A = this chain, B = another copy of it.
Amino acid sequence: MKYLTEYRNPALVKDYLAKIHRAALHPWKIMEVCGGQTHSLVKNGMLGLLPENVVMIHGPGCPVCVTPMSLIDQAVQLSLLPDVILCSFGDMVRVPGNRMSLLQAKARGGDVRILYSPLEAVHIAAANPAKQVVFFAVGFETTAPSNALAILYAKKLGVSNFALLASHVLVPPAMEAILDDPFCSIDGFLGAGHVCAIMGLGEYHPLAAKYRVPIVVAGFEPVDLLRAIYHTVLQLESGQYEVENQYTRAVREEGNKRAKEVMYEVFEVGSQEWRGIGHIPDSGLVIKDTYRAFDASRIFMLANRYANRPSACIAGDILKGYKKPFECPAYGKACIPANPLGAPMVSSEGACAAYYNYR
C-alpha cells in the first residue's frame, strides 16, 4: 500500500540500523509513548537489532491498557442490562474487570458487539430504537474526535438512544507525570504520530524545553521508527532537546484544526484515572454538560460497586518505564494472554503482551 509498504523496505531498515549503531556512543533510554509503536517494534523484531546501548522503554500508550478497571466493571454492568447493546472496539472485550471481562459478560447473555467504528454504533442505535446503545469509547487524542463525531452524528440523525461510556486519556499530561517522577531515567521520547496528527506539536515544545528531552514524532512502520530513533540519538549525542517531526506526511505543526474543534465541542479536559498509574489531573476528556444526554455514565447513574482486586501486577512500573515485562514475577507464569492479570497483557499493544507474543 502506498505510504505504508515503502516504509518497510528491508534495505532502508538495515541502513538506518547501521546509522544508529554508528551514532549511538552513549547509553540512552528512549520511550515510545505509543502502544502501536511498541507493537511494531516488537513484531518486527527490531528491539533485538538496536545497539545494546539504545534501550527502548514502552510507555503507557495503549488506551485499552490504561482504561480503569472500574470503567470495565461499568461496561460489563451495562452490557448485562436487558435493554442495552454495549458496543466496543475488539481490543477492549478481553480486558479483565473486577468481576469479569466484556467477553465473559457476553457469554452470560450480555449483548456485546464488536465494532470497527463508533459511527457504526449510531447505525445500530437507529436500527434498534427500543434499545439503548452504548459505545465504550476509549482512546487517546487520536480517537477522541471520532468518538465525539459519533455523538454529533447521532444528534444530526435524531438518534436519541445512543450514548458513550467514555474514557479518554491525553498524552502530554502522562508524559509530564512520567518525567516528574524522581526516579525517571528516560532520555528521549518518540512522539505518538497519530496523536500529533490531531493535536499538532504545540503541547510538546514546552515539555521538551522544561524537561530538556528531545521529542521526535514518529510514524509506525519500521523505517519511520528507526528514522525517529536515529534522530533522537543524534539529538541526545549532541545535547539537543528539540521537538522534531519525522512523520511529516501525516503530522502538521498545527495538527488537525477541525478534529480539535469537534473534540472540544463534545469533550472538556478533566481529571482521569489511568489503570496501573492512578489519577493524573487534566489528563482526560469528559463529556460536556451540553451533551449529557449522550453520556452513559449520567444516563445510567452508574455505581462503582466493586473494589479493585488486589493484584501482583506491576503494570504501573511497566508503563512508567521502570521495569520491563520480564521483570514482573507474574509474567509468562500466572499472567499470560489467555489469562491476563493486568491490562498490559491483554491488548496486543500492551507492553507485556507485545513482549510475550513476539519474543
Contacts and interface: CB of A to CB of B under 8 A. Distances in A.
Nearest to A129: B82
A254 interface: no
A83 B82 CA distance: 11
A130 interface: yes
Contacts of A83: 130
SS of A interface (majority): loop
A82 B83 CA distance: 11
Contacts of A130: 82-83
Contacts of A82: 130
Nearest to A81: B130
A130 B82 CA distance: 9
Interface residues of A, number: 3
A145 B83 CA distance: 36
Interface in A122-155: 130
Interface in A39-85: 82-83
A130 B83 CA distance: 9
A263 B130 CA distance: 37
A82 B131 CA distance: 11
A81 to B, nearest CB: 10
Nearest to A128: B82
Nearest to A83: B130
A328 to B, nearest CB: 45
A165 to B, nearest CB: 21
A221 B130 CA distance: 52
A83 B131 CA distance: 11
A132 to B, nearest CB: 13
A130 B131 CA distance: 12
A197 to B, nearest CB: 43
A113 B130 CA distance: 22
A134 to B, nearest CB: 18
Nearest to A82: B130
A292 B52 CA distance: 83
A131 to B, nearest CB: 9
Interface in A67-110: 82-83
A82 B129 CA distance: 11
A128 B83 CA distance: 13
A146 B332 CA distance: 65
A82 B127 CA distance: 13
A130 B130 CA distance: 12
A217 to B, nearest CB: 50
A83 B130 CA distance: 9
A83 B128 CA distance: 13
A137 to B, nearest CB: 27
A191 B102 CA distance: 63
2 contacts: A82-B130, A83-B130
- What are the 2 closest A-B residue pairs judged by CB atoms, nearest first? A82-B130, A83-B130
Interface of A: 82-83, 130
